Amino acid sequence: MENTQSEFGGPKPENKKIAAGILAILIGVFGIHKFYLGYTKEGIIQLILGLLCGIGGVIALVEGIIYLTKSDEEFYQTYQVGKKGWF
């Protein structure tokens, strides 16, 4: 059975790692994974880069791979708690 309690006794928060990684790889050129994680400013920047020069897609692919290779706890602490917007 999966542990649904945090180490402090409250409900365990949702880890968005898998969804964010898949969104980044499949449609990251539009910055969707950034918006999903709550990074509006970074999402808009990625969308503009993707539409203007395509570099947003390359960045998203790299980010998707990084997201999926991190442990669940490391992803959660880095991107959901620490709010690290890029890489």
Per-residue pLDDT of the chain (87 residues; tens, 9 = 90+): 445 445 555 455 678 999 999 999 999 999 999 999 999 999 999 999 999 988 888 999 999 999 999 999 999 899 988 888 887
**Confidence at residue 87, expressed as pLDDT on a 0 to 100 scale:** 72
**Confidence at residue 1, expressed as pLDDT on a 0 to 100 scale:** 44
- Cβ-based neighbours of 87, under 8 Å, separated by 6 or more: 62, 63, 66
3-state helix, strand, coil in the chain (%, to 5): 65, 0, 30
Q: Which residues pair with 11 in a beta bridge?
A: 5
**CA atoms of 72 and 76, how far apart (whole Å):** 6
Which amino acid, one-letter code, is at 59?
Answer: I
User: pTM for the complete prediction?
Assistant: 0.80
- Domain containing 57 equals 17-81
Q: Is residue 48 part of a domain?
A: yes
Q: Is residue 86 part of a domain?
A: no
Q: Is residue 46 part of a domain?
A: yes
Count: domains in the chain:
1
